[in-house]
Amino acid sequence: MRETSRTAFDIDELGEGDSPHEECGVFGVWAPGRDVSRITYFALRALQHRGQESAGIAVGDGSTVLVRKDLGLVDAVFTDADISAMRGKVAIGHVRYGTSGARSWEAAQPHLSTISEVIIALAHNGTLVNSDSLRASLVELGVPFRSNTDSEVAAKLIGHYTKETSHLRQGIAKAMGMIEGGYAMALVRENALYAFRDPNGIRPLVLGRLGDDGWVVASETCALDIVGADYVREVAPGEIIRVSDDGLVSERGVPARVPASCIFEEVYFSRPDSVVMGKSVYSMRFDMGRQLAREAPAEADLVIGVPDSGLPPAEGFARELGIPFGEGFVKNRYVARTFIQPTQEQRSLGVRLKLNALRDNVAGKRVVMVDDSIVRGTTSKQIVQMLRDAGAREVHVRINCPEVRWPCFYGIDTDVQSQLISASKGVEQVREFIGADSLAFLSLAGLRQCVPSTGWCCACYDGWYPVRIPQSFAQGKFMEGYRPGGPEE
Ligand code: SF4
C-alpha cells in the first residue's frame, strides 16, 4: 500500500462566481495488458469540468493497490513518471469539487481502506444524506476516520460489512442497503473493479467496452470517447458491476426505486458532447433554447450565450426566432482555481476575471443573453452590467431551466435555500435585482420535453426530493414555511 503526495496548498475561490458546482467525476477501467493508469489519466482530463479541487488514481497491480492523489488539476497532480510508475490491469480515478470545510489532501479521492488483508480504494460522486449517523455508528465500533467526507464513511462501511460477510460484493450490497442519497462509485481491489449506483440513479454512471476484453465505467460518455471505449449502457440504478479475470458480473445491490436522474446534469454540468440515454447533452440544450424562445420570445438584434453551458441553448433560441447568434463574451479558461491570493481590488472585479464582454459584437444592440441558471443572482447582475458597460442597448435575460428555489442534497453544491434568490423573489423582482430589461425562465414542462423520457430528479425546481432528507441533514437548509415533498415513508 502506498499513498503519495506532493504539496498541499490553500485554494482560493476566486472566479468561481455563484454558479452551482458539481461534486466529482469518477472513472474505472479493467484492461489487462494495457496502461490502465494512463487511460485513467486521460479519462480524468475529459472529466475535469466535474471537479477541479483534487485528482487521484488508484491502480490494482495484482497484489496490492497503489494510490496517488493530490490537490490541483489533473495535469498538475500527475507527471509522466507518476503514471509510468503505476502499473496494473485495473484502475479507478477521481476528480473532486469539495465544499470549503473539506479541502484537504485527506479528502481527495480515491480513499484507501484496509479490510483484513485486502486493500481497496473508492472513488465517489454524490452525497450521502445519512452519513452523520452512519459515521457515529462506525466510530462507536472503533473505526478510525482520516477525513470528514461522506465518501470515507462509504469506504469504511463497505470495509465493515465485508469483514462481517467475508465477501466484498456482499459488503458493498449491505452498505448500499444502509446508505441514502445520490451516489455513483467505482472501487478497485488488487485484482478487480467494482461499480455501483444509487437505487434512484440520481448520479450518472455509464458502462463502456474497451477492445475485446476491457471494460470501463465513467460519470459521462465523453470519458469513454477519449480512451477509445464504446458505450454499452448505463449502470442500472441499484446495480453492482464486478469485472475481474472471470469477466463481467452484474448483480442487484439494492432494489431499484423510482428513477430520478439529476436533470441539472443536462442543463448545466455534463459536457455537451456527452450522450445520455441516446441524446447528446448539446442537442438537449439546443432544444431547451428553442423551447424557451417559444415560451418567452424577445425582439432583439443578437442572441448570445454565457459560456459554456449557455451557448447551445442560445443557439437554439436564435434559430427558433431567426435572430443572429453571436459571441458575446470571451471566457478566460485558466482561472477556475488559483493559488495566488487576490488583492481586495481584484476581488471587486469579480466575474470579470473569468468573463469579459465582446464590445464589438454587443455595442448598440438589443441583446438576448441566455444562461443556464440564476442561483444567488450576484453573477447575473455583474454580467448584465458588463454588457451594458460594453454598450448593449437592451439586455434580455433568458434562462434555459426553471427558477432554482430549493437546495440540492444529492451531490450538487447549490446553497442553503435562503441564499437562492428565486426562493424568496418573483421573476419581476429578480429581473429588477439583476438589472435586465426582461427576464424569463424555461418552464419545467418545457424542460422535460427536451430531455429523454425517463424519471428525473427536479427537486431544486419543484421541491420534490426522491430520497428523504433526514432532519439532522436538513437543519438550517430550508426557509421557514417551506416543506419539501418526497416519497411516502
Ligand atoms: S436537486 Fe437538482 S441538482 Fe440536485 S440532484 Fe436533483 S435535479 Fe440535480
Q: Which residues of the chain have pLDDT under 50?
A: 1-17, 100-101, 337-339
pLDDT of residue 146: 82
Is 447 near ligand 1, meaning CB less than 6 Å away? no
What number does the ligand 1 atom closest to the CA of 262 have?
A: 8
For residues 63 and 119, what is the distance between their CA atoms, to the nearest angstrom? Answer: 9
**Cis upstream peptide for 132 (omega within 30°):** no
Which H or E element spans position 303? strand 302-305
**Is the CB of 410 within 6 Å of ligand 1?**
yes
State in Å: Cα 19 to ligand 1 middle: 14
CB of 300 sitting under 6 A from ligand 1: no
Ligand 1 centroid from CA 231, angstroms: 25
For ligand 1, whether the C-beta of 458 sits within 6 Å is yes
- Give the pLDDT confidence score for residue 99 in this predicted structure: 52
Dihedral angle computed from the Cα positions of residues 172, 173, 179 and 182, in that order, rounded to the nearest 10 degrees: 90
Probe ligand 1: pick from 416, 460, 468, 478, max atoms within 8 Å of CB?
460
Residues in the chain: 489
Which residue's alpha carbon is nearest to atom 8 within ligand 1? 262
Rounded CA gap, 359 and 389, in Å? 9
The x, y and z cell numbers of residue 225, run together, are 470517447
Ligand 1 site-directed mutation target among 264, 266, 276, 477, most atoms within 8 Å of CB? 264
DSSP states of 182-217: EEEEEEEETTEEEEEE-TT--S--EEEEETTTEEEE
Dist. CA 129–CA 119, nearest whole Å: 26
Measured from the CB, is residue 370 less than 6 Å from ligand 1? no
- Domains, in order of start, for the chain: 21-257 (3.60.20.10), 285-332+348-451 (3.40.50.2020)
CB 325 within 8 A of CB 314: yes
**Which residues participate in catalysis according to the annotation?**
24
Q: Which residues on neighbouring strands pair with residue 396, listed in sequence order?
A: 368, 438
Task: Provide the pLDDT for residue 180.
Answer: 95
User: What pLDDT does residue 37 have?
Assistant: 97
What cell numbers appear for 302 in the block?
A: 443578437
Nearest protein CA to atom 4 of ligand 1, as residue: 408
User: Given this model, what pLDDT does residue 474 score?
Assistant: 86
Atom of ligand 1 nearest to the CA of 458: 7
State the distance from the centre of ligand 1 to the C-alpha of 458, rounded, in angstroms. Answer: 6
What is the model's pLDDT at position 11? 28
- Taking the C-alpha atoms of residue 118 and residue 414, their distance in angstroms, rounded to an integer, is 37
How many A from CA of 361 to the centre of ligand 1? 35
Backbone angles phi, psi at 353, to 5 degrees: -70, -20
- On the CB side of 74, how many CA atoms lie within 13 Å of its CA? 24
State the distance from the centre of ligand 1 to the C-alpha of 463, rounded, in angstroms: 10
d(CA 420, CA 84): 46
CA of 261 to the centre of ligand 1 (A): 8
Phi first, then psi, for residue 437 (nearest 5°) are -75, -35
Nearest atom of ligand 1 to the alpha carbon of 20: 3
Task: Answer whether 404 contacts ligand 1 (Cβ < 6 A).
Answer: no
Cα–Cα distance measured from residue 68 to residue 64, given in angstroms and rounded to the nearest whole number: 14
Q: Reply yes or no: is the peptide bond before residue 402 cis, omega within 30 of 0.
A: no
Helix 168-178 × helix 150-165 angle, to 10°: 130
As separate numbers, helices (DSSP H) first and strands (DSSP E) second, the chain gives 18, 26
Asked whether the whole model's pTM tops 0.85, one would answer yes
- Give the per-residue pLDDT at 383: 95
Q: Whose CA is nearest to atom 2 of ligand 1?
A: 460
Query: What is the C-alpha to C-alpha distance for residues 188 and 193, in angstroms, rounded to an integer?
Result: 5
Contacts of 244 (CB under 8 A, 6+ apart): 30, 191, 192, 193
Q: For position 340, what pLDDT does the model report?
A: 53
